[in-house]
Structure 1
């Protein structure tokens, strides 16, 4: 039992300047602690269970003597009821910190996810699209909300107004909201089901995207127009024209051809090896080069590492070939030539389906088929691409309307 100290007055407490602990009386164990620097604070010395504790009750003079004695009485009352005030305080502080972590806003979480996407993505515009769509559609409703508070009703408030009129865009917005909330869950900012999940959740409320929107395919050139188009294309000058010709001959994607480097091309063996980092499926893709493709490459200057550099030595812009097609008066997209190639292979040749799909670097969706197909069918694909190049070299005859001779009167 601590020795009962004389009860000091407020004036006497104010005059205490000697460093150390000074008993102030009124409540057993209550002391004013004075540090060598002159700072003062209240300390209650008490036994909690089997432990001797110095329990802080606040600073002086912010906490005056009367308030310190009241706090000391309340603290001792808790101890008598089996409550450890120090442990209680730690638990409250931990709970507060946990709540502050949970209270992070959707916008802050999204910023972290976007930063991660920017680090992972090969396409800068992809991460920018994330930010743009979330800012336009999600932030006005979810942006300032704590992610822990977001539920199904909030997600629907974002999606429903535009779901049928902008289905493709809102489908992406839903996926991005789901990704942000998943990130928040993994990082401890929320718990429970993801309210932006489609299967077994939003699919029971919103119409299936395929039922309310039509798929917009890339516009392709008719098969029989390829020969005439290629003849006209070869009359065009400039790097964009040669790059587009290469796109057609190799049936590759625009970004793959625009980023082609001489170090990827083996002219001696007629092979172009596109690294995984530039492929949509993130797998290395070997492209057999036809004689026509090799001839095109041999006529290209080798002043830079890129095969088709812009005037500044960088890859051509996405619009370079698109604008060329417009100037030529061709109603097709660059990507559409892959469709023309696929139509030609299916309708005019007997090459197997999987050979044609591999030529386009399409992922094999059938797991069993993918497991058994170890090679890349290079020899068969080389013949396919050479046949394609020959077809593109020959303008197809156009049907002529021949007027019938009038019957003699």
Structure 2
């Protein structure tokens, strides 16, 4: 992208190349700093170069997009006027930030520990934008009270409990940043709020699973439900492969080797941060063949109507709509129970099929194989159990 003489809103939004981009002649020393983040993506911050006490000095003006170009220019003009009247605009830098500004600074700090290619930043930003910023974004961080946080959480506390927990955790982390910076002394999303919020089912209950004898019937209901094809196919693929929801929802065609019936999930998408090879059963390949009809430019195997991955709660909502007493992650528990009761596969093979890491460091050091061929046989048996002629009823079993 060609460097403009003066910054424009479209350039600020679109620029991807790291560097310092000045606002041109008459720009009051304003620059946009574009830097790569360790976890991937870019940070964009505003800085103003001024002369104070005869020395060149840089003054931070906030992060984009919380501070847009118009606001950055306004702040730069205000600083220049203060200097002309003998003031030091740095004194204003200790002004209490809004929650939105504190969130940006917290994300910048947190991102340093996120893995490259991590989805964490996108998840932080999307949940804050969807549930929090409309109510808290403009408030100074020292004015936010537990009742304000409760107003954010209560509407979703019972209906989206896992999301609500994560949102509360993220608000709490932002408030801990504010405490560390000296803007407040207490955490409005901390223990006091935990006592005030209604009790909901334990986290274990959110991973509720069907008895394995009912999984085949559940898949039949999903196929016949009339749900969006990507959602229905993704749910069946998840069950057949015994993977986590995010691993299935974010699956890409570039990860699929249909000729050799292997799905290779890259390490950055795995909980254990290790590449995981999934042997694809005949039925899993059939599901992929159906999914090919949905292929678009996004490269996702199961794209949503907007060409993005299916949402975090999309499969959970499908279970709820169909009256299935389970959550997507519970399919892994159903598979593990089936392994224990119906399969002759050794425990180690079953655990590797779930991409579980051996907790014994010595055994892990000596066992290098992922037992792929034995896992292929196991996953084919599981698929046959789910689609075989005697596994159609929800209450029946083999």
* Partner of residue 376, structure 1: 370
Give the SS at the match of 1:244.
helix
* Partner of residue 79, structure 1: none
* Partner of residue 144, structure 1: 140
TM-score, normalised to structure 1's length? 0.52
Alignment of 1:305-324 (within 5 A): 305-310=299-304, 313-317=307-311, 321=315
- Aligned counterparts of 2:328 and 2:208: Cα–Cα separation in 1: 9
Change (3 A) 1:131 1:375: farther
- Aligned counterparts of 1:155 and 1:374: Cα–Cα separation in 2: 52
- Could you tell me how far 1:328 is from its partner in structure 2? 5.0
Question: Could you say which structure has the larger radius of gyration?
Answer: 1
Aligned alpha-carbon RMSD (Å): 5.2
Task: Determine whether 1:343 maps to 2:337.
Answer: yes
- Could you tell me how far 1:265 is from its partner in structure 2? 0.9
* Partner of residue 227, structure 1: 216
Change (3 A) 1:129 1:357: farther
Change (3 A) 1:372 1:98: farther
Change (3 A) 1:230 1:191: closer
- Could you tell me how far 1:264 is from its partner in structure 2? 1.1
- Could you tell me how far 1:183 is from its partner in structure 2? 4.7
- Aligned counterparts of 1:213 and 1:299: Cα–Cα separation in 2: 37
Query: Would you say the 8 A contact 2:127–2:167 is kept in 1?
Result: no
Q: Which moved more, 1:239-248 or 1:295-304?
A: 295-304
* Partner of residue 126, structure 2: 128
Q: For structure 1, which runs of at least 5 residues remain unmatched after alignment?
A: 1-54, 56-92, 401-409
Using CA pairs under 8 Å that are at least 6 residues apart, name the structure with larger relative contact order, 1 or 2.
2
- Aligned counterparts of 1:366 and 1:176: Cα–Cα separation in 2: 33
Task: Determine whether 1:285 maps to 2:276.
Answer: yes
- Could you tell me how far 1:250 is from its partner in structure 2? 0.7
What is the total number of aligned residue pairs between the two structures?
A: 294
Query: Would you say the 8 A contact 1:359–1:381 is kept in 2?
Result: yes
Alignment of 1:91-130 (within 5 A): 100-105=92-97, 107=99, 108-114=101-107, 121=119, 124-130=122-128
CA deviation profile, 1:269-299 (whole Å, cap 9, x unmatched): 2210122344344443221111221233345
CA deviation profile, 1:21-71 (whole Å, cap 9, x unmatched): xxxxxxxxxxxxxxxxxxxxxxxxxxxxxxxxxx9xxxxxxxxxxxxxxxx
- Could you tell me how far 1:185 is from its partner in structure 2? 8.0
Query: Would you say the 8 A contact 1:223–1:343 is kept in 2?
Result: yes
Q: For structure 2, which runs of at least 5 residues remain unmatched after alignment?
A: 1-52, 54-85, 112-116
Query: Would you say the 8 A contact 1:276–1:282 is kept in 2?
Result: yes
